[in-house]
């Protein structure tokens, strides 16, 4: 019962977007004084997104929130896609640089937890895809910090990149799914349990959907479901996954440093 669609973009000239991200601009100023700044627009968009989903970030909404006409936003931002990039880089600025000399495992854990928290402060963030990513200063710093965590432990450059991508990908995925579940509960007004109560009798009327056909799904699905509803859960997939991934990286590291 849920769908996601992905807007494409990324075709445009990187020039203007990069300048905005790095705050370069403002040489000759003629014409009327601007009412706003690009940063105002970005902050307003983030406020709106934090309160709902990324869909709340429409040009018209943001403009209304700022008290200007929709088309005025195009003075500060080339378009909606670039606005999203600016939002991403902006919130990446909230990530901390991990303490030095922690050891790679503690450092990666700190990074993962920091990002987990960031995703929960900005629930729209894991929904927004970013390949050929937003080249802003904060995103650069994020990558640099991630790499620092696995520096000098015996991995080559390609492995370092893959390792941090694995960890950050895990955080994104698990955060995304936990946030999506929470959003679904809010938007449908049904908890998972209530939803299953609705769905179960319908399924029960379908011979092919009998538990006998899906013995493991029935048993494990129920156990997992009860556990998930135990309210301590949403972070479980994250903690479980992180533990496995770090153990897996540890195996690789040991191979490299016998």
Rule CB under 7 A: choose which of 11, 32, 152, 207 binds DNA.
32
Q: Which does 103 bind (CB under 5 to 8 A by kind): its own copies, DNA, none?
A: none
DSSP state of 207: G
Rule CB under 7 A: choose which of 80, 105, 176, 239 binds DNA.
80
Classify 84 as helix, strand or coil: helix
Nearer to its own copies, 16 or 35 (CB): 16
d(CA 132, CA 160): 18
Rounded to 5 degrees, φ, ψ at 57 are -85, 80
Nearer to its own copies, 31 or 201 (CB): 201
Residue with the two structure tokens 């370092």: 160
Q: Which does 59 bind (CB under 5 to 8 A by kind): DNA, its own copies, none?
A: DNA
Instruction: Give the H/E segment covering residue 58.
Output: none
Rounded to 5 degrees, φ, ψ at 32 are -65, 155
The answer to whether 75 contacts DNA (rule: CB under 7 A) is: yes
The answer to whether 93 contacts its own copies (rule: CB under 8 A) is: no
Give the shortest CB-132-to-its own copies separation in angstroms: 6
DSSP state of 70: G
d(CA 77, CA 70): 12
Candidates 33-41, 48-56, 67-75, 98-106; binding stretch for its own copies (CB under 8 A): 48-56
Candidates 28-36, 59-67, 108-116, 194-202; binding stretch for its own copies (CB under 8 A): 194-202
Rule CB under 7 A: choose which of 79, 93, 137, 169 binds DNA.
79
The answer to whether 182 contacts DNA (rule: CB under 7 A) is: no
Q: Which does 206 bind (CB under 5 to 8 A by kind): its own copies, DNA, none?
A: its own copies
Q: Show the tokens assigned to 186.
A: 């809010």
The answer to whether 187 contacts its own copies (rule: CB under 8 A) is: yes
Give the shortest CB-251-to-its own copies separation in angstroms: 4
The answer to whether 34 contacts its own copies (rule: CB under 8 A) is: no
d(CA 148, CA 96): 13
Give the shortest CB-178-to-its own copies separation in angstroms: 9
How would you class 216 by CB atoms within 10 Å of its CB: exposed for 0-12, middle for 13-18, buried for 19 or more? exposed
Rule CB under 8 A: choose which of 30, 99, 131, 232 binds its own copies.
131
Give the shortest CB-236-to-its own copies separation in angstroms: 7
For 122-235, where are the alpha helices, taking DSSP H only?
Answer: 137-149, 157-188, 192-204, 215-229
Return left, alpha or beta for 221; rule: phi > 0 is left, psi -120 to 50 is alpha, else beta.
Answer: alpha
The answer to whether 158 contacts its own copies (rule: CB under 8 A) is: yes
């Amino acid at each position: 019962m849920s769908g996601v669609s992905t807007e494409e973009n990324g075709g445009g000239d990187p020039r203007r977007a990069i300048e905005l991200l790095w705050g370069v601009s403002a040489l000759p100023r003629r014409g009327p004084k601007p009412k706003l700044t690009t940063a105002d627009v970005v902050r307003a968009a983030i406020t709106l997104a934090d309160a709902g989903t990324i869909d709340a970030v429409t040009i018209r909404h943001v403009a209304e929130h700022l008290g200007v006409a929709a088309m005025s936003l195009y003075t500060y931002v080339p378009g909606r896609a670039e606005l999203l990039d600016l939002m991403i880089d902006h919130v990446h600025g909230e990530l901390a640089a991990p303490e030095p000399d922690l050891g790679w495992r503690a450092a990666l854990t700190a990074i993962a937890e920091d990002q987990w928290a960031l995703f929960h402060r900005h629930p729209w963030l894991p929904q927004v895809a970013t390949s050929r990513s937003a080249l802003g200063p904060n995103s650069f710093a994020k990558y640099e910090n991630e790499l620092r965590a696995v520096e000098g432990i015996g991995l080559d450059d390609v492995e370092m990149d893959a390792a941090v991508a694995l960890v950050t990908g895990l955080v994104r995925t698990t955060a995304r799914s936990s946030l999506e579940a929470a959003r679904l509960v809010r938007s449908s007004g049904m908890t998972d349990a209530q939803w299953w109560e609705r769905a179960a009798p319908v399924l029960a009327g379908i011979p092919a959907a009998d538990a006998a056909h899906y013995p493991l799904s029935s048993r494990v699905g129920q156990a997992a479901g009860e556990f998930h509803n135990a309210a301590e859960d949403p972070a479980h997939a994250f903690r479980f996954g992180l533990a496995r991934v770090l153990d897996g990286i540890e195996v690789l590291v040991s191979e490299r440093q016998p």
